[in-house]
Amino acid sequence: MNKETYIIKIDPENMEEQLAYAGKLLSDGKTVAFPTETVYGLGANALSESAVDAIYEAKGRPSDNPLIVHIARLDMLDELAEEIKPYAKILMEAFWPGPITFVVKKKAHVPYKVTGGLETVGVRMPSHPVALKLIDLSGVPVAAPSANLSGKPSPTDVKYVLKDMMGRVDCIVDGGDSHVGLESTVLDVTGDVPVILRPGKITREMIVEIVGACEVDPALDNKSEHDLAPKSPGMKYKHYAPDAQVSVYSGDRMTVIKTFYNRIIEVIESGMSIGVMIFDEDALVLEKLLEKDEIFMRSSDKLHLMREGSSKELDTFARNLFKDLRKLDEVGVDVILVHGVSENALGHAIMNRLEKASEGRVFKI
Final residue of a domain: which of 173, 200, 227? 227
Query: How high is the pLDDT of residue 224?
Result: 45
**Do 121 and 259 reside in the same domain of the chain?**
no
pTM of the model: 0.93
Q: What percent of the chain has pLDDT over 70?
A: 94
**Do 193 and 306 reside in the same domain of the chain?**
no
The yes-or-no verdict on residue 59 having pLDDT over 90 is yes
Answer whether residue 135 is part of any domain. Answer: yes
**Do 256 and 111 reside in the same domain of the chain?**
no
**Do 125 and 249 reside in the same domain of the chain?**
no
pLDDT, tens digit (0-9, with 9 covering 90-100), for 298-308: 999 999 999 99
CA-to-CA dists, residue 147 to 19, 55, 220, angstroms: 18, 9, 23
Cα angle for residues 308, 346, 312 (degrees, 5° grid): 50
pLDDT, tens digit (0-9, with 9 covering 90-100), for 181-201: 999 999 999 999 999 999 999
**Do 191 and 150 reside in the same domain of the chain?**
yes
**Do 198 and 144 reside in the same domain of the chain?**
yes
- Which of 319, 250, 256, 251 shows the shortest CA–CA distance to 283? 256
Query: How high is the pLDDT of residue 1?
Result: 76
The yes-or-no verdict on residue 237 having pLDDT over 50 is no
**Do 272 and 319 reside in the same domain of the chain?**
yes
Answer whether residue 238 is part of any domain. Answer: no
Final residue of a domain: which of 198, 227, 256? 227
What's the CATH number where 276 sits? 3.40.50.11030
Contact 70, 124 (CB under 8 A): yes
Structural domain total, the chain: 2
**Do 22 and 129 reside in the same domain of the chain?**
yes
Answer whether residue 1 is part of any domain. Answer: no
Answer whether residue 239 is part of any domain. Answer: no
Answer whether residue 141 is part of any domain. Answer: yes
Q: Residue 258 has what DSSP assignment?
A: H
**Do 211 and 252 reside in the same domain of the chain?**
no
The yes-or-no verdict on residue 80 having pLDDT over 80 is yes
| Residue range(s) defining the domain that contains residue 91 | 6-227
**Do 249 and 222 reside in the same domain of the chain?**
no
Among the residue ranges 232-236, 271-275, 321-325, the one predicted with the least confidence is: 232-236
Residue 93, SS3? helix
The yes-or-no verdict on residue 243 having pLDDT over 80 is yes
Answer whether residue 179 is part of any domain. Answer: yes
Answer whether residue 103 is part of any domain. Answer: yes
**Do 200 and 268 reside in the same domain of the chain?**
no
Contact 52, 113 (CB under 8 A): yes
Would strands 335-339 and 245-250 be described as parallel, antiparallel, or unpaired?
Answer: parallel
Instruction: Give the type of residue at 287.
Output: E
Q: To the nearest 10°, the Cα dihedral for 32, 36, 40, 46?
A: -40
pLDDT, tens digit (0-9, with 9 covering 90-100), for 199-220: 999 999 999 999 999 999 998 8
> Which residues does 344 contact at the CB level (< 8 Å), separation at least 6?
none
Q: What is the DSSP string of 300-324?
A: GGGEEEEE---TT-THHHHHHHHHH
**Do 88 and 154 reside in the same domain of the chain?**
yes
Confidence category of residue 233, pLDDT binned at 50, 70, 90: low
Query: How high is the pLDDT of residue 227?
Result: 47
Mean pLDDT of the chain: 94
What's the CATH number where 23 sits? 3.90.870.10
Final residue of a domain: which of 227, 254, 287? 227
Report how far residue 109's alpha carbon sits from residue 89's, in angstroms, rounded to the nearest whole number.
22
Report how far residue 114's alpha carbon sits from residue 50's, in angstroms, rounded to the nearest whole number.
11
Answer whether residue 274 is part of any domain. Answer: yes
Q: What is the DSSP string of 107-128?
A: PTTS-HHHHTT-SEEEEE----
